[in-house]
Amino acid sequence: MTIGNIAPKKERKSRKSKSIVDEKAPLLPKRQDDDGAEFDEFNGASFTGAVFNLSTTIVGAGIMALPATMKVLGLGLGIVMIIFMAFLTEASIELILRFSRAGKSSSYGGLMGDAFGKYGKIMLQICVMINNIGVLIVYMIIIGDVLSGTSSSGVHHAGVLEGWFGDQWWNGRAVVLSVTTLCIFAPLACFKRIDSLKFTSALSVGLAVVFLVITVGIAIIKLISGGVMMPRLIPDVTDLTSLLNLFTVVPVLVTAYICHYNVHSIDNELEDSTQIKGVVRTSLALCSSVYIMTSFFGFLLFGDATLDDVLANYDTDLGIPYSSLLNDAVRVSYAAHLMLVFPIVFYPLRLNLDGLLFPTSRPLVLDNLRFALVSIGLIAVIFLGANFIPSIWDAFQFTGATAAVCLGFIFPAAITLKDRHNIATKKDKILAVFMIVLAVFSNLVAIYSDAYALIKRNTSPRE
């Protein structure tokens, strides 16, 4: 039941050729006498480039919230949940790709349309929009936290620019995010092929590794010197409220692995589509390793003082030589990483919004005015959200409990149970039912727990 056996290269090529003819994509050579350099660009994406792009899709802002999940779950249970979610994500992507082969669908939306008709495709597009807008807002929030500081926890944590130059009008959150949006996000969002972003993706993964190496080094030095306490291995459950609070981490864990909306785009551009299974597994293994190490050493460093965005913890004296320099290196490297991840997540967001608003229009890549207007509108919404949503935990819980869980588990499970092409095994259907029950139950409890905590927080000052 391997993806490679289901999707021979010949079938993959014919599907790709059909897509090219139908969409008349201007980024492909239209004439035989086109310059060879442009033709070479579209011979197909490499395995390494595909791994970088998918890994970049996965390792975004989720890594910053994972140490805070350790504070809720404890280190032992938290790491187990990270590994469990990786295996569940791989299984759900395998289902998506297998049913896409059977239905000759070249996109996630096409697969939902094949299984559930027009309304299934529309539902998918709406969920991609909600999830990706939420994730990109989180990216901007973190960048604002790093460069300008944050007071979301009630205590002000100075940003890098504030630490270097003091409190100036030009290093305020709104100004910094405006400059970042105009000078970095907007230019990177102009690329019309996802494979064009493979070099920025490779650089972003490298920056994430830099962040991880510095964090591990700091934790090991403090561990040797006896500067850290033994972290909790299990959750601290004392009553029903604390038990229900455990489920609030599920949306964060789900969001940390959501990459399903980019799998087809990466698969369609692969030179050899039989490699997609290896691409998915390699990316998930790489990202899981990064997640586990970041969660372990991040929680080891800060314990129960870990903030929702662990980067905000790196503004205090760590008790080691060159503490200030290392703090800045950690924060700047990851802020730069997120700036480079932005276009990878923005790419499917723009395509799905355009497909939802203009389903019968010519392809977006052929209409520069529409391309520009859709891009500008989306960036403006994300910018406003980043300036008005106070915490990444709030954004993660909203997107994770709604759109992310649908994209990652409910939709793949529903496609499997629908089984329009009669290829699902009994094991597939059992897995699909498990995914739906787990997703619905855990997220309902998470939403209830969040609402209860919010109501309690708002009413407590009056008592």
Q: Which neighbouring-strand residues pair with 158?
A: 149
pLDDT band at 21 (very low <50, low <70, confident <90, very high): very low
Nearest in space to 152 (alpha carbons), one of 307, 37, 282? 307
pLDDT at 245 > cutoff 80:
no
pLDDT at 216 > cutoff 60:
yes
**Average pLDDT, stretch 401-407?**
78
Nearest in space to 298 (alpha carbons), one of 49, 78, 6? 78
Position 153 scores a pLDDT of: 55
Position 43 scores a pLDDT of: 59
Q: Of the segments 100-114, 146-160, 250-264, which one has the largest average pLDDT value? A: 100-114
| Residue 444: CB atoms within 10 Å | 12
**Average pLDDT, stretch 66-80?**
83
| Angle in degrees, CA 210, 382, 265, rounded to 5 | 65
Question: 183 is written with which tokens?
Answer: 């000078």
Q: Which range, of 8-22, 75-89, 180-194, averages the lowest pLDDT?
A: 8-22
* pTM assigned to the model: 0.76
- Residue pair 263/254 in contact by the 8 Å Cβ criterion: no
Alpha-carbon distance of 145 to 159, in angstroms, equals: 6
**Average pLDDT, stretch 419-423?**
89
Position 152 scores a pLDDT of: 58
Taken in order 53, 299, 234, 455, is the CA torsion positive or negative?
negative
Position 360 scores a pLDDT of: 81
Chain mean position to CA 405: 12
Q: What percent of the chain has pLDDT over 90?
A: 12
pLDDT at 137 > cutoff 90:
no
**Average pLDDT, stretch 158-165?**
74
pLDDT at 16 > cutoff 80:
no
Position 41 scores a pLDDT of: 46
pLDDT at 7 > cutoff 80:
no
Position 99 scores a pLDDT of: 93
pLDDT band at 459 (very low <50, low <70, confident <90, very high): low
Task: Note the pLDDT tens digit of each residue in 329-369.
Answer: 888 888 888 888 888 889 888 988 888 888 888 887 778 88
Position 222 scores a pLDDT of: 81
| Size of the chain, expressed as the number of residues it contains | 463
pLDDT at 92 > cutoff 80:
yes
pLDDT band at 2 (very low <50, low <70, confident <90, very high): very low
Place of tokens 């499970």: 413
**Average pLDDT, stretch 378-382?**
91
pLDDT at 417 > cutoff 90:
yes
Q: Which letter, b or e, does each residue of 326-359 get, where b requires 16 or more Cβ atoms within 10 Å of its Cβ?
A: bbbbbbbbbbbbbbbbbbbbbbbbbbbbbbbeee
Position 90 scores a pLDDT of: 94
Alpha-carbon distance of 133 to 55, in angstroms, equals: 19
Alpha-carbon distance of 320 to 135, in angstroms, equals: 34
Position 188 scores a pLDDT of: 86
Q: Of the segments 63-72, 77-86, 160-169, 359-368, which one has the largest average pLDDT value? A: 77-86
pLDDT at 462 > cutoff 50:
no
Position 186 scores a pLDDT of: 87
Q: What percent of the chain has pLDDT over 70?
A: 79
Question: 404 is written with which tokens?
Answer: 């992310």
Taken in order 212, 213, 216, 219, is the CA torsion positive or negative?
negative
Task: Note the pLDDT tens digit of each residue in 272-322.
Answer: 778 889 999 999 998 899 888 888 888 888 777 777 667 677 777 777 777
pLDDT at 189 > cutoff 90:
no
For residue 256, CA distances in Å to 67, 230, 280, 323 come to: 12, 26, 15, 29
pLDDT band at 96 (very low <50, low <70, confident <90, very high): very high
Give 189 or 10, the one with higher predicted confidence.
189
Give 150 or 235, the one with higher predicted confidence.
235
- Residue pair 55/201 in contact by the 8 Å Cβ criterion: yes
Provide CB contacts within 8 A for 306, sequence distance 6+. 67, 68, 70, 71, 298, 299, 313
**Average pLDDT, stretch 375-402?**
75
Position 25 scores a pLDDT of: 40
